[in-house]
């Protein structure tokens, strides 16, 4: 299954006015792997995801998804191809209950093709399907949580809801923009198995992350961005040993006080 | 002694019966059933009895006008609170629908039975196409564009002297009698009210509400926001065009006064008074505002002053709107608790 490129990004550049947010970034992601993107604040990680998923028009470059050119397609068209993303700043529909949040993606052309007009095929309507997805992602089915308004949910659940929105589309590739940020250690600990489960289900993941320890538990390869440029790419141990990476993270080559455990 | 100065706050709790009637248990007893059905029944029966309660010809006509404003207000509330587009296009919808119905009736000799549905659909299509370029805009920018169109069409008809120019299209067919006239509009607003209430809780309605809450997330969910905004604008303009077509048939004339700003502004005032986001509120708001404005005719030119004072009082003291207040009182009980 692995070995085939599901996503190929070539020379993506983006400027905001005079700021060079991305400069000729290239990388490829293989089918079934977990690919990490790390880098200091402002290094262009989120901009890269925005460019790939069509939320921002890139200045130059090319994005191939399953050998199909998706550069500068509309975000909703890209999502319908199975390339989904989460937002770093969660974007739930605050006035809707959690499970009704998922009815929106379940209404998309991609999900409707699978689920029929009721949404769930033989399983029932869209409400049933969304409760199933929420249970899978860690909302207890028998509790009140899936029925509460999204505005009353804590961050941990909102992060899960972001992932659930991607899952509702039946994705092949999820770009996760900092799913661990803002979570407590115990919440992160319960998210990691979830990521592993998604990978076992055959979903390819690209994860932007600042929580390196947890990222390296799941990621097979990581790429480091700094000031919009790609520094290096490779397996986590090698990348973190790189002097340039230490410099980028700490501003000097004094020392990287990071104890690596893998 | 210091009980008076002690901090206290008002606690609001849902009534037990409200919670019980949310699920399938609503049908468990007559008490629960009537808790749900009575408010709706009172509204429907009240609306249907109006022509009997106000039998004079003058007040019959007022009911018809209120119905038109109610359609516009329903559309405004739907678009503003469930899709996130603030529309000042009431007069555009009325004008387009009205002129289409008048032309169909005068030039093609169609009866109101046909002109009203055709004008509703084709008018809604025209209005949606006109507003299509503005759909990516949000907030006040969209409102400005919707306000511009009626003014532009008004001037075009006046300057080019087309469609009857300033005289308008005279001699449009009327309804057979006032009973048909009134029950048509009353049944339409009841259908529109309950239809919209159902729609916003259907799956497609959730998409509309998603567009209002977070349009970027809707795009990330694989749905085109422009498409769903266009559908919503179509629904709203269909309601408005229906009102416009109905209007020309009761007044038997289609003139440039169809593009009057009243049709854009009064629905908003009615929404503020009735309570935005409730759908039924704007409808009741129209049934309060328009008759008040008629009653104030006794004051002659001072009418608008009294009207403004009433509006101001509502906004100052009940800015949440009548229906939001009433629903809260109906569903919840309040008590003071010490902090």
A237 min Cα distance to partner chain B (Å): 33
A262 min Cα distance to partner chain B (Å): 34
B127 vs B238: CA distance, rounded Å: 9
Is B293 in contact with B307 (CB distance < 8 Å)?
yes
- Superfamily of domain A5-86+173-180+203-250 in the CATH hierarchy: P-loop containing nucleotide triphosphate hydrolases (3.40.50.300)
The domain ranges of chain A are 5-86+173-180+203-250
A111 contacts B213? CB cut-off 8 A: no
Number of Cβ pairs < 8 A linking chain A and chain B:
86
Residues 6+ apart with CB under 8 A from B171: B106, B252, B253
Mean pLDDT of A203-228: 89
Q: Is B42 on the interface with A (CB under 8 A)?
A: no
pLDDT value for B302: 82
B47 vs A107: CA distance, rounded Å: 36
Window 239-278 of B, Cβ < 8 Å to A: none
Mean pLDDT of A154-162: 89
pLDDT value for A1: 42
Taking alpha carbons only, the member of A220, A234, A238, A237 closest to residue A34 is A220
Residues of A in contact with B80 (CB under 8 A): none
Residues of A in contact with B222 (CB under 8 A): 76, 79-80, 84, 105, 108-111, 169
Is A137 in contact with A164 (CB distance < 8 Å)?
yes
Task: List the end-to-end C-alpha distance of chain B, in Å, as a whole number.
Answer: 16
A95 contacts B221? CB cut-off 8 A: no
Residues of B in contact with A80 (CB under 8 A): 222
A6 vs A20: CA distance, rounded Å: 27
B204 contacts A92? CB cut-off 8 A: no
Helix (H) or strand (E) holding A85: strand A83-85
**In this structure, what DSSP letter does residue B26 have?**
G
Residues A105-131: tens digit of each pLDDT: 988 888 888 766 666 666 668 888 888
Residues A235-246: tens digit of each pLDDT: 988 888 888 888
Residues B121-167: tens digit of each pLDDT: 999 999 999 999 999 887 789 999 999 999 999 889 888 888 877 78
Residues of B in contact with A106 (CB under 8 A): 203
A91 contacts B222? CB cut-off 8 A: no
pLDDT above 90 covers what percent of chain B? 44
* pTM for this prediction: 0.89
Mean pLDDT of B176-202: 92
């Amino acid at each position: 299954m692995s070995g085939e490129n599901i996503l190929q990004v070539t020379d993506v550049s983006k400027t905001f006015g005079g700021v060079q947010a991305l400069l000729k970034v290239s990388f490829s992601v293989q089918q079934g792997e977990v690919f990490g993107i790390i880098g200091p604040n402002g290094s262009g990680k989120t901009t890269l995801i925005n460019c790939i998923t069509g939320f921002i028009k890139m200045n130059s470059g090319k994005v191939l998804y399953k050998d199909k050119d998706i550069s500068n397609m509309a975000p909703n068209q890209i999502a319908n191809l199975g390339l989904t993303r989460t937002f770093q700043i969660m974007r739930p529909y605050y006035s809707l209950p959690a499970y009704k949040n998922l009815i929106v993606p379940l209404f998309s052309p991609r999900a409707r093709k699978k689920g029929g007009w009721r949404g769930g095929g033989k399983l029932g309507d869209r409400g049933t399907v969304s409760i199933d997805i929420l249970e899978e992602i860690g909302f207890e089915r028998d509790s009140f949580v899936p029925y509460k308004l999204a505005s009353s949910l804590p961050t941990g659940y909102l992060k899960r809801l972001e992932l659930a929105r991607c899952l509702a589309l039946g994705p092949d590739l999820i770009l996760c923009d900092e799913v661990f940020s803002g979570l407590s250690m115990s919440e992160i600990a319960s998210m990691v198995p979830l990521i592993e489960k998604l990978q076992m289900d055959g979903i390819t993941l690209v994860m932007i992350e600042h929580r390196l320890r947890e990222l390296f538990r799941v990621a097979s390869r990581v790429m480091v961005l700094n000031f919009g440029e790609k520094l290096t790419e490779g397996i986590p141990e090698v990348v973190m040993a790189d002097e340039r990476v230490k410099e980028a993270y700490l501003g000097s080559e004094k020392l990287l006080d990071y104890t690596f455990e893998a | 002694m210091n009980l008076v100065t002690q901090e206290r706050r008002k606690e609001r709790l849902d009534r037990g019966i409200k919670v019980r009637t949310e699920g399938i248990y609503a049908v468990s007893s007559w008490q629960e059933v009537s808790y749900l059905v009575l408010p709706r029944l009172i509204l429907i029966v009240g609306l249907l009895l109006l022509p009997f309660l106000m039998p004079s010809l003058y007040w019959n006509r007022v009911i018809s006008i209120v119905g038109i404003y109610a359609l516009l207000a329903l559309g405004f509330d739907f678009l503003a609170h469930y899709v996130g587009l603030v529309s000042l296009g009431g007069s555009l919808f009325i004008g387009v629908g009205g002129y289409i119905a008048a032309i169909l009736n005068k030039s093609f000799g169609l009866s109101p039975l046909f002109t009203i549905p055709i004008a509703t659909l084709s008018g809604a299509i025209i209005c949606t196409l006109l507003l299509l370029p503005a759909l990516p805009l949000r907030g006040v920018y969209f409102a400005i564009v919707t306000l511009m169109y009626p003014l532009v069409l008004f001037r075009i008809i006046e300057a080019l002297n087309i469609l009857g120019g300033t005289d308008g299209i005279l001699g449009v067919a009327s309804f057979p009698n006032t009973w048909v006239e009134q029950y048509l509009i009353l049944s339409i607003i009841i259908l529109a009210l309950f239809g919209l209430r159902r729609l916003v809780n259907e799956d497609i309605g959730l998409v509309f509400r998603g567009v209002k809450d977070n349009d970027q997330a809707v795009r990330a969910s694989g749905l085109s926001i422009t498409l769903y905004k266009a559908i919503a604008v179509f629904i709203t303009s269909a309601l408005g065009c229906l009102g416009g077509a109905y209007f020309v048939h009761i007044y038997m004339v289609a003139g440039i006064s169809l593009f009057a700003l009243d049709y854009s502004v009064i629905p908003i005032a009615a929404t503020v008074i009735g309570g935005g986001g409730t759908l039924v509120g704007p409808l009741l708001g129209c049934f309060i505002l328009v008759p008040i404005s008629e009653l104030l005719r006794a004051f002659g030119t001072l009418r608008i002053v009294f009207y403004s004072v009433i509006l101001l009082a509502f906004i100052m003291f009940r800015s949440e709107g009548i229906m939001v207040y009433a629903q809260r009182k109906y569903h919840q009980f309040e008590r003071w608790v010490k902090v």
